[in-house]
Amino acid sequence: MNRHDRLDTLAFVSCPFCAMVCDDLSLPVHNEALTAQQIPCEKARTGFTSAFQATRETPLIHGKEATWKQALQQAGKMLREARLPLFHGLIGDLLDSKAAVKMADHFGGAIDHLHGDAIARNLQIYQQGGWQVSSMGEVRNRADLVVLIGHDPQETYPRLHEKLLDSTERLHADSPPIIHPLNHDCLDLLSITRARLAGKPVQADTAGSDELLTQITGANYPVFIIGRLPGKNAELIIRTCVGLVRDINETRRSALLMLGAGEGDMTAQLSAAWHNGFGIRTCHAKGYPEQDLQRYAGNRLMQSGETDLLVWISSLSCAPPPDVAQNTIVIGHPAMSFTQSEPTIFLPVGVPGIHRSGYLHRADGLRLVPLKRLIDNPLPGSATLCEQLISQEPRTC
Ligand code: SF4
Give, for ligand 1, the residue of 20, 24, 162, 265 to mutate: max count of ligand atoms closer than 8 Å to Cβ.
20
* C-alpha distances in Å from residue 327, one per residue of 119, 280, 332, 346: 26, 22, 16, 11
What is the CA(325)–ligand 1 centre distance, in A? 35
Return the ligand 1 atom nearest residue 17 CA.
7
- Mean per-residue pLDDT over the chain, rounded: 92
Q: What is the pLDDT of residue 396?
A: 45
Query: DSSP labels for 378-394?
Result: -PPPHHHHHHHHHTTSP
Confidence of residue 10 (pLDDT cuts 50, 70, 90): confident
Give, for ligand 1, the residue of 14, 15, 164, 369 to mutate: max count of ligand atoms closer than 8 Å to Cβ.
15
How far is it, in rounded angstroms, from Cα 288 to Cα 285? 7
pTM equals: 0.93
How far is it, in rounded angstroms, from Cα 161 to Cα 179? 10
Give, for ligand 1, the residue of 25, 41, 154 to mutate: max count of ligand atoms closer than 8 Å to Cβ.
41
| Out of 48-57, 85-94, 164-173, 307-316, least confident range | 164-173
pLDDT tens, residue by residue, 189-222? 999 999 999 999 887 777 788 999 999 999 999 9
Contact 154, 279 (CB under 8 A): no
Return the ligand 1 atom nearest residue 18 CA.
2
The DSSP call for residue 132 is -
Whose CA is closest to atom 7 on ligand 1? Answer: 44
Most confident of 3-17, 33-47, 199-213, 365-379: 365-379
Residue 55, pLDDT > 90, answer no
Whose CA is closest to atom 4 on ligand 1? Answer: 22
Out of 3.40.50.1220, 3.50.50.60, 3.40.50.1820, 3.20.20.70, select the CATH number for domain 59-115+263-351+379-390: 3.40.50.1220
pLDDT tens, residue by residue, 58-77? 999 999 999 999 999 999 99
What is the CA(26)–ligand 1 centre distance, in A? 12
How far is it, in rounded angstroms, from Cα 341 to Cα 145? 48
How far is it, in rounded angstroms, from Cα 385 to Cα 69? 11
Contact 321, 312 (CB under 8 A): yes
Pocket lined around ligand 1, Cβ cut-off 6 Å: 15, 17-18, 20-22, 25, 41, 43-44, 157-159
What is the CA(47)–ligand 1 centre distance, in A? 9
What is the CA(158)–ligand 1 centre distance, in A? 6
Return the ligand 1 atom nearest residue 25 CA.
5
Q: What is the pLDDT of residue 230?
A: 82
What is the CA(271)–ligand 1 centre distance, in A? 21
How far is it, in rounded angstroms, from Cα 378 to Cα 292? 38
Q: What is the pLDDT of residue 232?
A: 82
Confidence of residue 362 (pLDDT cuts 50, 70, 90): very high
Whose CA is closest to atom 3 on ligand 1? Answer: 21
Question: H-helix or E-strand containing 26?
Answer: strand 25-30
What is the CA(374)–ligand 1 centre distance, in A? 17
Whose CA is closest to atom 2 on ligand 1? Answer: 18
What is the CA(242)–ligand 1 centre distance, in A? 27
Residue 105, pLDDT > 90, answer yes
Query: With respect to CATH, is domain 120-258 assigned 3.40.228.10?
Result: yes
Residue 395, pLDDT > 60, answer no
Annotated domain spans of the chain: 59-115+263-351+379-390, 120-258
Residue 393, pLDDT > 80, answer no
Q: What is the pLDDT of residue 5?
A: 57
Question: Torsions phi, psi of 340, nearest 5?
Answer: -95, -105
What is the CA(125)–ligand 1 centre distance, in A? 28
What is the CA(103)–ligand 1 centre distance, in A? 30
pLDDT tens, residue by residue, 249-278? 999 999 999 999 999 999 999 999 999 999
Higher pLDDT, 171 or 194: 194
What is the CA(295)–ligand 1 centre distance, in A? 34
The candidate with the shortest Cα–Cα distance to 351, out of 397, 315, 393, is 315
Confidence of residue 34 (pLDDT cuts 50, 70, 90): confident
pLDDT tens, residue by residue, 370-384? 999 999 999 999 999
Residue 397, pLDDT > 60, answer no
Q: What is the pLDDT of residue 49?
A: 94
Return the ligand 1 atom nearest residue 21 CA.
3
